Structure 1
Amino acid sequence: MRVVLAMSGGVDSSASALLLKEQGHEVIGLFMRSGMTAAAEACRLDDNPLPIIAAKAHKQGCCSASDASDARRVADLLDIPFYALNFQEGFGRIQDYFADEYLAGRTPNPCVKCNIWLKFGKLWDFAQQVDADCIASGHYARLTSVPGESRPGLFRGRDPAKDQSYVLFGIDPELTDRILFPVGDFEKPYIRELAARAGMQVAQKPDSQEICFIPDNDYSAFIERFRGPQETAGELVDTSGAVLGRHDGYQNFTIGQRKGLGVAFGEPRFVVRIEPETRRVVIGTREELGRRTLEADQLNWLIPSPPEEIRATAQIRYQHTPAACVAERIGEDQLRVTFDEPQFGVAPGQAVVLYDGDRVLGGGWIR
């Protein structure tokens, strides 16, 4: 098949290119530029004009000029076509979402949105332009056929330490038979070994840890640059409303945060609530942080005919240990999740993803 592969310049997508080629596919590598570039020129593929973006000198997280150069070197090594396209509009949408969520007192997840809007949205649009059969990425997840179902189901990757199925819950269910995850059946050490044997310089490249448009991890500074100065400073209070101190901006906090509260306590305290209307950040004990229920909307189901109520496990953030629960639909696009045991760090703005064993059932955004 002709496959368009999202290449980030990391070892996982690089090894994916090798695996796809070894399987006999015609691979086209695509690097997604954030649009923060100095110049652009045009190239053509199958008579379609496609912008190739010139490299920029400074680091931009996983979308930097050095990452683009790494991806291009891998493509040259494997002798596959390579294109770096400007997705400035799409990245701008993600930046808007990120800033707006924090200013609304919510905790955004830009990586999930990037997967929905860009990696499995715009990537598929590009694939159709070049008459590709499938798109692929270096995510650690699996798409596996399910008896009695017309499309494959999404499952956790074989490597539990690297599983990325949580951030993929939002992919279009209509596309699951058009997506490939070449590294999903392997563990990370093997993927690094595979890349090293192939002579790839990225074999030992560290995994990207930062948000691509905030490489210094200074969220507050980004929001000020992106949205201008904001009146977000206010009071730190306990759950009874007693004032404990002041903070410089509620966008610097997230639910479940323990460190960096700016006030010393005799025992552990956590952010249990953020109130953007009053600009208050509410601090409480671990018991006060616990939640037995949550509600979510903007649902995306990856199973046919989802039931009104289902027994499942739920994951409320990327590093969260899945917890047993009952999920019930409470509206056309709403879900209530009730956990067997209280969960800590339920943050509005994050995704809740439901599993049946290793299979992703679907998910939504915590309200």
Structure 2
Amino acid sequence: MSGGVDSSAAAHLLCDAGHEVIGVFMRHGEESSEVCRTDAPQLPVVQRAGHKQGCCTASDAADARRVADRLGIAFYALNLQRDFRRIVDYFVDDYTRGRTPNPCVQCNNWIKFGRLFDYADGVEADFVATGHYAQLAADPDGGVPHLLRGIDSSKDQSYVLYGIRRDRLRRMLLPVGGYTKKRIRELAGEIGLSVADKKDSQEICFVTSGHHSDFVRARRGQDAPSTAGAFVDMEGEVVGQHSGYEAFTVGQRKGLGIALGEPHFVVRIEPETRNVVLGPRPALLRRGLVADDANWLIEPPAVGQTISCSVQIRYNSPPKPARMTIEDASASSFRVEFEQPEEGVAPGQAAVVYDGPRVLGGGWIDCSIS
């Protein structure tokens, strides 16, 4: 329970369905001056002046506690800061490598549907549930449930769930996936939840202020090698200077701080030269990509086998028709060829493979195919 409307409504729906519900809030930010005690009558999370933290602030913890009290369910705050450092390190390392990380995917993989299963086992819980907008459907042959898109296409979050271990689908519940966001807010209001109109978090939860590049530089420290370099055009001519390539991602247009007379986009980031390559929009088009470190929610196709599918390469982009081919015997690498060239194929982002609404699996984009 993050203190937002989605997880709060999810808890209500679970209670309504007859489950014994335990609310869990994840603390994974900076250490507070007061230790969390799960046996305290009020949640003792202290927010220091000027401190904010996306979806996991002290006020969010208080909101979650109030919802739990309103629903009459048990509520615990877990300190997962040590586990979360792994996500922060991954975030910083990927930007330093000239990639564009997705910490929300890794949080689901490692913590929400990783460490929380350990906690669930510890309290003998049957399921782990969240407020993600995605659905689970029974397999007609009695196998592992299918992970599907949520019915609200504008809020669908199946993309960030592709990396969950397949065997854990049997113990997952996604109560809000069959509702629209509008209906979830209405439902929360009807039962008197104080978070019914609370705004959605739009921030990276551990980037507490400023731009993500400021966070990366601070985390790397003053003695780290410089990432400052040059903007270059498609011919390699220097057209400007930048203070660090970690501030940019493939497909970016805004915030370049350079005027070239016509719109230019980040086409490529070269950490070895520290160059950020700019070009016109057509220069972003790619025929395909290669992804690695794949996770499959189906029995993966055999090496060399090609299947027709759709592939989504960003959280906010729609899936596009494509053909996917497994590249190695372990099915950890795959190649995607789009039916039509696509823009903004960014190394470090997830490429998620769908069959209609069903998530088949996915992997991390290693490189694009021109």
TM-score, normalization by structure 2: 0.93
1:149 positional shift: 4.5
Task: Assess, with a 3 A threshold, how the Cα gap between structure 1 residues 262 and 131 changes in structure 2: closer, same or farther.
Answer: same
Deviates more, 1:324-333 or 1:210-219: 210-219
Structure 1 residues 85-164: aligned runs within 5 Å: 85-164=78-157
1:148 positional shift: 1.8
Whether contact under 8 Å (1:170, 1:300) holds in the other structure is yes
Structure 1 distance, partners of 2:153, 2:273, is: 41
> What residue in structure 1 maps to residue 237 of structure 2?
242
Structure 1 residues 268-283: aligned runs within 5 Å: 268-283=263-278
Q: Does 1:33 align with 2:62?
A: no
> What residue in structure 2 maps to residue 335 of structure 1?
334
Structure 2 distance, partners of 1:55, 1:69, is: 10
> What residue in structure 2 maps to residue 4 of structure 1?
none
* Secondary structure, aligned partner of 2:21: strand
* Secondary structure, aligned partner of 1:25: coil
Letter in 2 for 1:191: I
Whether contact under 8 Å (2:38, 2:77) holds in the other structure is no
Structure 2 regions of 5+ residues with no counterpart?
none
**Going by fraction, where is strand more abundant, 1 or 2?**
1
Structure 1 distance, partners of 2:318, 2:156, is: 12
**Cα deviations across residues 175-233 of structure 1 (Å, max 9, x unaligned)?**
00100000000001110011011111100000000000013351121112211134111
Task: Assess, with a 3 A threshold, how the Cα gap between structure 1 residues 341 and 149 changes in structure 2: closer, same or farther.
Answer: farther
* Secondary structure, aligned partner of 1:184: helix
Structure 1 residues 1-367: aligned runs within 5 Å: 7-36=1-30, 37-43=32-38, 54-57=45-48, 58-229=51-222, 230=224, 231-307=226-302, 308-331=305-328, 332=330, 333-367=332-366
Whether contact under 8 Å (1:32, 1:85) holds in the other structure is yes
Whether contact under 8 Å (1:33, 1:53) holds in the other structure is no
* Secondary structure, aligned partner of 2:136: strand
TM-score, normalization by structure 1: 0.94
Task: Assess, with a 3 A threshold, how the Cα gap between structure 1 residues 53 and 115 changes in structure 2: closer, same or farther.
Answer: farther
Structure 2 distance, partners of 1:358, 1:351, is: 17
Task: Assess, with a 3 A threshold, how the Cα gap between structure 1 residues 174 and 70 changes in structure 2: closer, same or farther.
Answer: same
Letter in 2 for 1:228: G
Structure 1 regions of 5+ residues with no counterpart?
1-6, 46-51
Structure 1 distance, partners of 2:307, 2:142, is: 19
1:90 positional shift: 1.5
Letter in 2 for 1:315: Q
Letter in 2 for 1:206: K
* Secondary structure, aligned partner of 1:355: strand
Task: Assess, with a 3 A threshold, how the Cα gap between structure 1 residues 138 and 268 changes in structure 2: closer, same or farther.
Answer: same
Whether contact under 8 Å (1:144, 1:153) holds in the other structure is yes
1:53 positional shift: 5.9
How many pairs does the alignment contain?
Answer: 355
**Cα deviations across residues 254-291 of structure 1 (Å, max 9, x unaligned)?**
00001122221222211010011110000011111111
Whether contact under 8 Å (1:59, 1:66) holds in the other structure is no
1:81 positional shift: 0.4
Q: Which runs of 4+ in 1 moved over 3 A?
A: 41-45
Whether contact under 8 Å (1:210, 1:216) holds in the other structure is no
Structure 2 distance, partners of 1:152, 1:139, is: 16
Structure 1 distance, partners of 2:178, 2:38, is: 35
Letter in 1 for 2:148: F
1:43 positional shift: 4.0
Whether contact under 8 Å (2:149, 2:357) holds in the other structure is yes
**Cα deviations across residues 8-58 of structure 1 (Å, max 9, x unaligned)?**
00000000010000000000000000142222144469xxxxxx7633243
Structure 2 distance, partners of 1:284, 1:41, is: 51
